[in-house]
Structure 1
Amino acid sequence: MSKRVEFFFDLGSPASYLAWTQLPALCARHGAELVYRPMLLGGVFQATGNASPVMVPAKGKYMFVDLQRYAERYGVPFGLPPGFPINTLGLMRGLVATQLHAPERFEALLAVLFKALWAQRLNLGDAPVLDATLDAAGFDPQQFRALASQVEVKQALKQVTEEAVARGVFGAPTCFVEGQMFFGQDRLDFVEQALA
Structure 2
Amino acid sequence: MLTNGHCKLHLIFRKVLCRYHHIWNIDLRFRPAFLGAIMQATGNQPPGMLPKRNDYMLKDIKRMGKYYQVPIKATPEHLQRLLVPLSLGAMRFITAIDMTQPLFLEAVSRGFWIRFWSQHEDINQPASILSVAARTGLSSEQAQKLLEMVSSPAVKNRLRATTDDAMKYGAFGMPAIVAHFNEEQHLFFGCDRIELLASIIGEKWLGPVPSLPNSKM
Structure 1 residues 79 and 126: alpha-carbon distance in aligned structure 2, compared to 1, 3 A threshold:
farther
Partner deviation per Cα, 1:70-114 (whole Å, 9 max, x = no partner): 110112211138573251111001001001011122222222222
Q: Is the 8 A contact 2:4 2:175 kept in 1?
A: yes
Counterparts of 2:156 and 2:133, CA distance in 1: 20
Q: Is the 8 A contact 2:61 2:73 kept in 1?
A: no
Residue correspondences, number: 190
Counterparts of 1:131 and 1:97, CA distance in 2: 13
Pair 1:185 & 2:191 matched: yes
Paired amino acid for 1:76: V
Pair 1:27 & 2:21 matched: yes
Unpaired runs of at least 5, structure 1: 1-5
148-157 vs 83-92, greater mean Cα deviation:
83-92
1:120 alignment partner in structure 2:
119
Q: Is the 8 A contact 1:17 1:118 kept in 2?
A: no
Partner deviation per Cα, 1:10-69 (whole Å, 9 max, x = no partner): 12x001121122111122210001110211111101111011111212112212321221
Secondary structure of the corresponding residue to residue 105 of structure 1:
helix
Secondary structure of the corresponding residue to residue 25 of structure 2:
coil
Pair 1:103 & 2:102 matched: yes
Which runs of 4 or more aligned residues in structure 1 lie more than 6 Å from their structure 2 counterparts after TM superposition? none
Structure 1 residues 128 and 152: alpha-carbon distance in aligned structure 2, compared to 1, 3 A threshold:
closer
73-82 vs 185-194, greater mean Cα deviation:
73-82
Structure 1 residues 92 and 31: alpha-carbon distance in aligned structure 2, compared to 1, 3 A threshold:
same
1:164 alignment partner in structure 2:
166
158-167 vs 121-130, greater mean Cα deviation:
121-130
2:90 alignment partner in structure 1:
91
Larger Rg: 2
2:200 alignment partner in structure 1:
194
Sequence identity, in percent?
A: 25
Paired amino acid for 2:49: M
Secondary structure of the corresponding residue to residue 170 of structure 1:
coil
Q: Is the 8 A contact 1:80 1:117 kept in 2?
A: no
- TM-score calculated relative to the size of structure 2: 0.80
Q: Is the 8 A contact 2:86 2:123 kept in 1?
A: no
1:70 alignment partner in structure 2:
64
Secondary structure of the corresponding residue to residue 22 of structure 2:
helix
Counterparts of 2:154 and 2:14, CA distance in 1: 26
